[in-house]
Structure formats: C-alpha cells, structure tokens
Structure 1
Amino acid sequence: MGAGESGFGARRDAAVREAVRRGLVTADRPVAGLLDVCGARRAAAGLRAAFGGVEVLHAFAVKAAPLVPVLRLLADEGLGAEVASPGELALARAAGVPAESVVLDSPAKTTAELREALALGLAVNVDSREELTRLDALLAEAGAPRSPAVGLRVNPQVGGGSIGALSTATETSKFGVAMRDEGARQWLVRAYAERPWLSRIHAHVGSQGCPLELMAAGVRDTYELAEEINATAGERRIRTIDIGGGLPVNFTSDDIAPTHADYARLLAATVPGLFDGRYGLVTEFGRSLLAKSGLILARVEYTKSAGGRRIAVAHAGAQVAVRTVFAPESWPLRVAVFDGRGLPKRAEPVPQDVAGPCCFAGDLVAVDRLLPRIDAGDHVALLDTGAYYFSNHYAYNTLPRPGVYGFAVDEQDDGTDADAPGVRFATVRPPQPLEELVAESGGGASGAGALSALR
C-alpha cells in the first residue's frame, strides 16, 4: 500500500472552506472543480524521479484534463503532451508545449492530420497497416522531408483487466497492429526493414482496472519485438519505445497506490533492457498524475427520503461524473460532506443516496452510502476527480460546464481557522454562461431561424 500524500486532507479542507467563503460555489453557481496545484506538481516530480537515469519524454495524456492552463502547468514541470485529435493538439499548442514534446495517437487520423503532424515535427504512432500505407504516400509526396519521429503501435494481445472498455491489449482490441495474429509479427519486422524512417514502437495495454503485471508483460513483449526488428535490420532501427500510460488509481482512500516508482521498479525487473540506455522512452500517463489532486464541490439543494432512505439532491451528477453514474461498480467515488460554511461535517454517519441534478433516475453518485447526515445547504465533494471528471463535461439537460479553479494552500494553514487567508485560487476555466450554451445550440443571430426558413 502506498503512502498518502502528507497534508493533502488538510489542504483539501482548507480549499473547500475558502471556495465557499469566496463565493466560488454559490446558489447561482452551485458546482465547481478544484485542482490542488501543489499535488499536481508533486505528482509530476514523482514521475520524473521514478524514471530518472534514462532519456524519457513524459507525454501527459491530454484527454485526462483538456484544459490549457493545466497543460501549461505540466509543461512547466517538464512534461509533454499525448494528443489524439485535432482539438487536443490545438490545446497543447495553445499551452506552449513544444512540437518535439507532442505525441500523436489516434486510430482514425485523417490525411490532413498526418500531413500537419509531419509538417510540425510531431511524433506519430501509426495505428494500422492502412494508415502506414497512407503515410508512405504522404512521405513520398513531401519529397524526402526531415527524418520523421514515426513508429507503429502494436497490440501485444496480453489480455484485459477488470474494465473491458479500458483494456486495449485484448485479442480483438481496435488499437494497433495485433502482434499475435497469424503472419503479423513477420509483417511488422518487414515493415521496419523496408522503412528506415520508422524509428519508434508503441504499445498501451490499458488503464484503470489493469494490473501492473499485465502492463509490464505488454511492455516486455513490445521490447522483445523491438530487439528482433533491430537484429533483423542489422542496426538500431528502433531507437524509442513508447510504453503508454495507464497506471491505475486508488479510489478508496487518500493513499497513492500504486506509485509511478512502483511501476518503474516492476518494469526494471521485468524488462531490464528497457533501462540500459539503448532506447529512449516515452510514457503517456494521465489519470495517475491528476486524479488525486482534484475534487468536485457542489451545493446540496434539497434532501428527502424514499423507502426509508435519505436522499441528498446535489448539483454534481452525470454532467461531471458520467463514468460513475453509468458504471458505478467500475468507477466508485468517495464523497466528503461539508456544511454550509464549507467546514467538514462530523455527525454520525447514516445511510444516504447522493443524487445529481440530471432528469433521469439513475443520476446517482453514491447509493446507500454511510455519510454524515446531509442537509439542504450543505456541500458534497466528489474526491479523486482531477482527471476525466470536471474537465470532460457531459451536456445532459443542457447543464453548463462548471468553473474550474486551481488552488495553493500556504503551509501554515491547517484548515481550522475559517478566516485564515492561506488559500490562493486561480481560474482555470470560468463557469459557462447560459448565453454561450444558447449559441452552441444554434441560437446565434444567424442560426435561430435557420430551419424555419426552409419550406
């Protein structure tokens, strides 16, 4: 079991108290995302330390937190960006991530995306045989461009974890070239032999729900293929191995387990050649860098009872916690309860549901959970939500995107003094105004009557 980060609970309580006191969460703006900047910086530093001693690019998976200020913060900490769409690339560029620190992954890259990636000098992981053929044509069209940072994504087919939707190395995964299919290994070796510009190889076994041993097995098989390709070519054709990300997060407590150091140690034991300096490395961690540093804070609007159980109706539900609402067994979240002033409630726990604002019965973030009695006007905090939650909005019922705020807590602030000025906030994304929602839904000056004009 990994150790919980020292002082995180106190920083979290201080941030909640100040967010309520300063009006970041109010009756008019009843939900917000809070990100512990100190926690994010420490996670980035821990990742760098875990893989110290080898040449490595840590490319943060932008899909985990597609927010420009967050990407810039991580870039300041020495991280690059892994992008899987034109939108994610645009965010990374807006954050100032250098092109040489950007990795493009996607199973559906268009010709225009590939052409842009080559022009910008991004690293590209080719996902299929057909995509490689398309890239052959683009490179021929470009007329001997500068050496591209291009590799193939392979699927080592080592199996899946407990969450099928996040297991990317199964027999029939949609990602990469299936390594164990008949004739596939020979095709891969030949593809590299025929293309001296292919210099990388990439694999990503899966994310939450995948045990470290399974992930390490996929990296081992990919490394062994790289060794075979280089031996066949008679030279170090593959110079960089991209091992993906996917480190699972502990959602049951403040403990950080496993850590990036745990994974690096297992890799060193399983694939020692990965760390002997012959290969550059790329990682693509996302959730494990930010989840523990984030929380969603929401006002409780009403309480009621049904069938003998209390229900708290709050303003955080499927619109910010879509995975938890639709797959609660795979994505359970801890809930902390605070009073109307933002102070932790200490009442005796009682079984309660915590419901969200969306207009369907399953919009529940906790069911029959033992929590301090929740009353109208209190606040609930959904913990460990710094990745994939408040940054990936689900627009059910046309609910606006919540504001997101980074925070830092002075070390002397222990979270007990309601008037202590020890918390500083910075706006990452302002709350979405209703006017913007209307415009996005075709309600602009030129759009509102567009259908009415058709006869």
Structure 2
Amino acid sequence: MNRKQNIITTAINEHAIDNNLTAIGVMDLDGLRKTVSDVYDAFPANFFHTFAVKANALVKVLAPLREYGMGAEVASPGELLIALTAGFTAQNIIFDSPAKTLQDLRTCIKTGIALNIDNLQELARIDTLMLEFPDSKSVIGFRVNPQIGGGKIGSTSTATTTSKFGYALLDEDNRQTLIAIYKARPWLNSIHTHTGSQGCELTLMAHGIKVITELAEEINAVIGTQQITRIDIGGGLPVNFSSEVIKPSFKDYAEVLKAQVPLLFTNKYQVKTEFGRAIVAKNGVIITRVEYTKNAGGRHIATTHAGAQILTRTAFLPKSWPIRVTGYSAEGIEKTKDNSAVVTTDVAGPCCFAGDLICSNQQLPKLELNDYVMVHDTGGYYFSNHFDYNSLPRVAVYTVSGEDNDLSMTCIRKAESLEDVLNKM
C-alpha cells in the first residue's frame, strides 16, 4: 500500500472524513521534513531558508517547519502574528508586505524583525522610525524589481516592467538613486528580489538574482565597504502539478543559480530564500466525498464538497492551475481502469456557479455516490485558505440606512493593530 493509499484508508476507517465532515486537508509531516532536508542539502551553509507563510498559514504546519529549521517570511500583519504563535522568533522572520502601515513598521523595527522596503514612501517612514529606534536590530533591505519580464502566468509574474512589487530598477535614474539611498543609510545592509513564481523558468529566476547581486556589488564598491551583507533571493520555485515527480528539484535550481551567480555560493554574503509552494504543495492533499453523480450532455458529473471555497485558484483559473484527482471507492480502494469503467468526467464543487469545477472533461474511472476524491498537490494555497488576509481584519463592513445615511457596523469585531494583538499575548 503506497503512502497516499494509506492516508485515505486511514481517514475513512478512523472517520476523519464521513457524512458530517465531507472535505479535509491532510499534511504529510514526514514528507515535509524530507522536503526541508532536501532544501538544505541543495545549498551551501551560507544559505538560510525561510518559508513563505502565505503558502500555508496554519500553525500546525508552521510549527513543524520551524522545528525542521525553517525561518518565516510574512507578507501581512496577520501572517506575522501566526508565525509568532507558531514559535518563530523575531530574528528568524522577514516582513515583506507591500502595504505595511506605519504601525507595522514600528512593530518590526522596535522588535528587531527584518523587513524589505517596497517603495520610497515607505523608506521615508522608516527614516523617521530609525531616528526613534537607532539601536534597532532589524535587518533592513530594499525589494528591487529587476524588470526582466514574466513567466507563463501573468498574475504570478513579479518582475515585469509594471509589477506592483518593489523598486523599479530600470526606470529613469532609479539605479543611481538607489545607490545614493544605500550610501546615505548605513543601516541598509540587505537587498531583496523575488523574480520567480509558478510558470517562471529557472533561468529567468536566476537572471533576476544575478542582476540584484551585481547591484549589491556595485553599491558596496561605491560605499567602499561591504555594507550589504545579506542578499534575499525570494522563492518561487515552480511545482510540477502533472505527476508525482518533483521537477524541478531544489538541487536543479541550485545548479542553475550557481552557474549564473557563483558569487552566492561563496561565503561573501548571507543568502536567504523564501520558498513557499515548493515546500508544502506535494506534501498536502484534499480528500472530499462524492455527494451525488449524474449525467448531462454525455458528461458524467460528480459533485463533491471541495470547490472554489478551498480550491480557489483552480476554480477561477483552471488553465493556469490544473490539478490531478484520483477516485477511491467508499471503502478507500483506488479506482482504476482495471476495476472501473473510464468515462468523460467533470468533478464539481459545491458552490453555486458554473465554474466551480476541480477538473473538467477528464477521462477518469467512474465515480459513484459516496466515493471519495483525492486532490493532489494541495498543501500550498488551497486548504490553508490564506486569502482571509491573515486573521487581522482591517476592513470593517458597514450598512447605510435612513435619511441621514446613518452608518452601522456589521463586522464581527473592529480592526486591531498588530501591536495591540501582540500586547495581549
């Protein structure tokens, strides 16, 4: 019995999934440990690896990752709170949000959490805060967009000419402006880029990192000392969703990176990574029960309880985010062409819109009432439901009524600042 067969059999026999709990997410912690080990084995000792919390913002997943040796990269105040709850310490956290409030920045600089600056207006705020906290232990850098182009998925490409992320290196005199910014601020001792994501080739990712490494060398040369000591190369290693094969591997990426940017593989710089999807995706699955089946227009339709609410990317962008499914009988036996007729199938979710499909027009062993479906490679950006924007609501909901347009708050609780929450811990 293979590992996934054992997982679904155990889930059924121990009633982890049944008529009441009809969709579950499962993380393989042994697999997660091996993945982290593979990351560290692929790179030399001057690399330190952080996990992009947005990829799976569950404390029960983050705590083991911390135990296995990962740091945490957070992109929102709630992710920061979740990382702290999972036991990560300030010195092992990087804050990368492009929309940090003044209070967020104050919290980071006061408590020594590293951060990457997104723009000049944010820099102005930090200038003021560094006067208030001159002894801050925060490692601070600029996020730089090398503007080298995108990959196959536009919505996840972060190094395009007009990307929302980072300081546009090739615009006007921005390169010289950035050098002057570093020269005037001895506390700027890191630099950051995140060139890749799903759909990006390894060579594109490495090229962006090469540009930033050369920029770090130029800045240090102009200053006359090695002021920049850390290069944060982001994450974005693509995941193979078409099979069980892990390709590209972390070793593949390290080899491409070493060929293009050999300087990183010396001890001159500390290098930080921010892998997310590549750490967790293949270590997680969703299991859901088939509630009903029917036929329409020659198509077999299996309606399950996992759809757009937990498979958001696939439901709304199926061509960019196709995922594999495997059917199992009510007893947990895998359905194959040897024990079931193969039919043209849509596997549907429970949401009331037509696009709520896990997969469409697929040749699958026939799914029946009360069967189960395993959705593969969903350990990242699926059942962790990160789009709740981190459990710290900043957006209150109001209704308007009456001739005077009276406002009534209808949200569950008022927004709190990160520091307010931290003070309660």
Tell me the TM-score normalized by structure 1: 0.84
Which position in structure 1 is the counterpart of 2:422? none
1:147/1:197 contact within 8 Å kept: no
Instruction: Tell me, in whole angstroms, the C-alpha distance in 2 between the residues paired with 1:394 and 1:388.
Output: 9
Which position in structure 1 is the counterpart of 2:351? 358
1:13/1:344 contact within 8 Å kept: yes
2:111/2:138 contact within 8 Å kept: no
Which position in structure 2 is the counterpart of 1:42? 34
Spell out, residue by residue over 1:211-234, the C-alpha distance to the aligned partner (whole angstroms, 9 max, x if none). 101000000000000000000000
Q: 3-state DSSP class of the match of 1:311?
A: strand
Deviation at 1:394, TM superposition (A): 7.1
Instruction: Tell me, in whole angstroms, the C-alpha distance in 2 between the residues paired with 1:393 and 1:59.
Output: 17
Q: CA RMSD in A?
A: 1.7
Matched, 1:120 2:120: no
Deviation at 1:450, TM superposition (A): 7.7
2:56/2:381 contact within 8 Å kept: yes
Which position in structure 2 is the counterpart of 1:278? 268
2:54/2:386 contact within 8 Å kept: no
- Equivalent of residue 21 in structure 1, options 10, 13, 17: 13
Q: Where in structure 1 do 4 or more consecutive aligned residues deviate above 2 Å?
A: none
Aligned length: 391
Instruction: Tell me, in whole angstroms, the C-alpha distance in 2 between the residues paired with 1:266 and 1:74.
Output: 26
1:301/1:313 contact within 8 Å kept: yes
Gaps (5+ residues) in structure 2?
Answer: 389-395, 399-407, 411-425
Deviation at 1:264, TM superposition (A): 0.8
Spell out, residue by residue over 1:292-327, the C-alpha distance to the aligned partner (whole angstroms, 9 max, x if none). 011100000000011011100111111110100100
Gaps (5+ residues) in structure 1?
Answer: 1-8, 396-439, 443-448
Q: 3-state DSSP class of the match of 2:150?
A: coil
Matched, 1:78 2:69: yes
Deviation at 1:147, TM superposition (A): 4.3
2:95/2:114 contact within 8 Å kept: yes
- Equivalent of residue 47 in structure 2, options 47, 52, 56: 56
Q: 3-state DSSP class of the match of 1:284?
A: strand
| Aligned counterparts, 1:277-356, within 5 A | 277-346=267-336, 347-356=340-349
Which position in structure 2 is the counterpart of 1:398? none
Spell out, residue by residue over 1:129-150, the C-alpha distance to the aligned partner (whole angstroms, 9 max, x if none). 11111100111123x2234310
Structure 2 letter corresponding to 1:107: P
| Aligned counterparts, 1:4-403, within 5 A | 10-52=2-44, 54-142=45-133, 144-346=134-336, 347-392=340-385
Structure 2 letter corresponding to 1:336: T
Spell out, residue by residue over 1:383-403, the C-alpha distance to the aligned partner (whole angstroms, 9 max, x if none). 0000010001679xxxxxxxx
Spell out, residue by residue over 1:183-228, the C-alpha distance to the aligned partner (whole angstroms, 9 max, x if none). 0000011000000110000000131001101000000000000000
Structure 2 letter corresponding to 1:201: I
Q: 3-state DSSP class of the match of 2:2?
A: helix
From the superposition, tell whether residues 147 and 390 of structure 1 become closer, same or farther in structure 2 (CA, over 3 Å).
closer
1:319/1:394 contact within 8 Å kept: no
2:109/2:137 contact within 8 Å kept: no
Q: 3-state DSSP class of the match of 1:46?
A: helix
Spell out, residue by residue over 1:93-124, the C-alpha distance to the aligned partner (whole angstroms, 9 max, x if none). 01111111100001111110011001111111
From the superposition, tell whether residues 87 and 394 of structure 1 become closer, same or farther in structure 2 (CA, over 3 Å).
closer
Spell out, residue by residue over 1:419-453, the C-alpha distance to the aligned partner (whole angstroms, 9 max, x if none). xxxxxxxxxxxxxxxxxxxxx999xxxxxx987xx
From the superposition, tell whether residues 256 and 450 of structure 1 become closer, same or farther in structure 2 (CA, over 3 Å).
closer
1:150/1:198 contact within 8 Å kept: yes
**What is the percent sequence identity of the aligned residues?**
49
Tell me the TM-score normalized by structure 2: 0.90
Deviation at 1:370, TM superposition (A): 0.8
Structure 1 letter corresponding to 2:357: L
